[in-house]
Amino acid sequence: MRIRASLAAAALSGAALTALAVPAAHAEGNPAAAQAEQFKSAHQAPSKQSVAASPATETDGDIQVTKVTVNANKDVVVGLSPKSFNVYVTVTDPSGVNPEQHGVDVALWHGTDLEGGDVDGFLWNENGAESCDYWSATAATCKFTITAKPGEVDGLWDSSLNGKWNVTVFASANDGDSYENDVYKNHWIKRASSFSGFNAGPEPVAKGRTITVSGTLNRASWSNMKYYGYGSQPVQLQFKKAGTSTYSTVKTVTTSSSGYAKTTVTASVDGTWRFHYAGNSNSSVADAYDYVDVR
């Protein structure tokens, strides 16, 4: 194991963290950095009889992490409630995978340098794997359940944590081989988006008359634990004719500073109108629907 500087684990409120004048990752008592230290200190690979594990290398011996799947390879979308998701880690070694509680481990972290403690977000299950499937004498797939808690000091305490996170993995074998990678892969944790007040009308409407479609695009704030209108975002107006299954894009509109979008179209046939927001690197996809009867 690599040795990392020990950081104090004193908890701060989300407001206090936001107010710090220095970067959160370097602040005394940063809970994320303290969790990262706890994650590292939990790993105890079995001792080797022949060659001691080198703390300077990420891989010692012939152990391999062959696959890591986070949330079924889908973005983790978090609104204002805790969101739990699964992570699966597959490990192989000729001597067999270490069955101890933290013999295999995984976490997601946000920041620039896990080695140097520059971490402002850390998501981990401190109880280790929920289960491990030892599907051969030399390989196992371990399941972890991790919960992202918005607005919590030990979770998604600030909206700036939206976007790209790093996945760190640790694994060890029965013969003392060990593997550690601070950035095995990346994964995206996004703020939930949704529409409110969506309507297409009037309904029913006479063929050839004007239909007005409107609604407000909102996005969750983890800093204030509220949804706010999401401005200056492209929203597609799409239509699906009754009896069909495919939507076609009619036009694209841009939300106002308050997230409001409004446009008009000409009524022709029965069908469903929807606003579709494709999301971005830190916000989720959102859709809203309304069926209009044309007579």
Does residue 157 share a domain with residue 21?
yes
Q: Is the pLDDT of residue 130 over 90?
A: yes
Lowest-pLDDT choice from 28-42, 48-62, 103-117, 232-246: 48-62
Mean pLDDT of 103-129: 95
Backbone angles phi, psi at 24, to 5 degrees: -60, -35
Cβ neighbours of residue 31 closer than 8 Å, sequence gap 6 or more? 9, 11, 12, 122, 153, 154
CA–CA gap between residue 110 and residue 114 (Å, rounded): 9
Structural domain includes residue 235? yes
Locate 179 and state its tokens: 């593997």
Mean pLDDT of 151-176: 96
Instruction: Give the pLDDT confidence of 52-67 residue by residue, as tens digits.
Output: 333 334 788 899 999 9
The pLDDT of residue 60 = 85
Does residue 132 share a domain with residue 29?
yes
Assign 116 a pLDDT band (cuts: 50, 70, 90). Answer: confident
Does residue 185 share a domain with residue 43?
yes
The pLDDT of residue 6 = 28
The pLDDT of residue 4 = 29
Structural domain includes residue 7? no
Structural domain includes residue 275? yes
Please give the angle made by the CA atoms of 21, 232 and 286, to the nearest 5 degrees.
100
Does residue 206 share a domain with residue 143?
no
Domain tally, the chain: 2
Mean pLDDT of 33-43: 92
Its domain, for residue 51, covers: 14-189
The structure's pTM equals 0.85
Does residue 178 share a domain with residue 211?
no
Please give the angle made by the CA atoms of 229, 234 and 240, to the nearest 5 degrees.
105
The pLDDT of residue 269 = 97
- Name the residue with higher pLDDT: 18 or 244: 244
The percentage of residues in the chain with a pLDDT greater than 70, rounded to a whole number, is 86
Locate 278 and state its tokens: 């494709």
H or E element at residue 226: strand 226-229
Assign 47 a pLDDT band (cuts: 50, 70, 90). Answer: low
Does residue 163 share a domain with residue 206?
no
Does residue 264 share a domain with residue 150?
no
Q: Which of 189, 224, 251 is the last residue of a domain?
A: 189
CA–CA gap between residue 193 and residue 202 (Å, rounded): 26
Does residue 178 share a domain with residue 203?
no
Instruction: Give the pLDDT confidence of 138-150 residue by residue, as tens digits.
Output: 999 999 999 999 9
Does residue 176 share a domain with residue 247?
no
The pLDDT of residue 28 = 54
Structural domain includes residue 197? yes
Q: Which of 138, 171, 189 is the last residue of a domain?
A: 189
Backbone angles phi, psi at 204, to 5 degrees: -70, 165
Does residue 179 share a domain with residue 110?
yes
Structural domain includes residue 8? no
Cβ neighbours of residue 63 closer than 8 Å, sequence gap 6 or more? 91, 92, 93, 171, 172, 173, 177, 178, 179
Structural domain includes residue 5? no
Does residue 197 share a domain with residue 137?
no
Instruction: Give the pLDDT confidence of 224-253 residue by residue, as tens digits.
Output: 999 999 999 999 999 999 999 999 999 999
Assign 5 a pLDDT band (cuts: 50, 70, 90). Answer: very low
Q: Which of 167, 189, 211 is the last residue of a domain?
A: 189
Locate 140 and state its tokens: 């196992």
Does residue 151 share a domain with residue 200?
no
Buried b (16+ CB within 10 A) or exposed e, 85-111: bebbbbbbbebbbbeeebbbbbbbbbb
What's the whole-number average pLDDT of the chain? 88
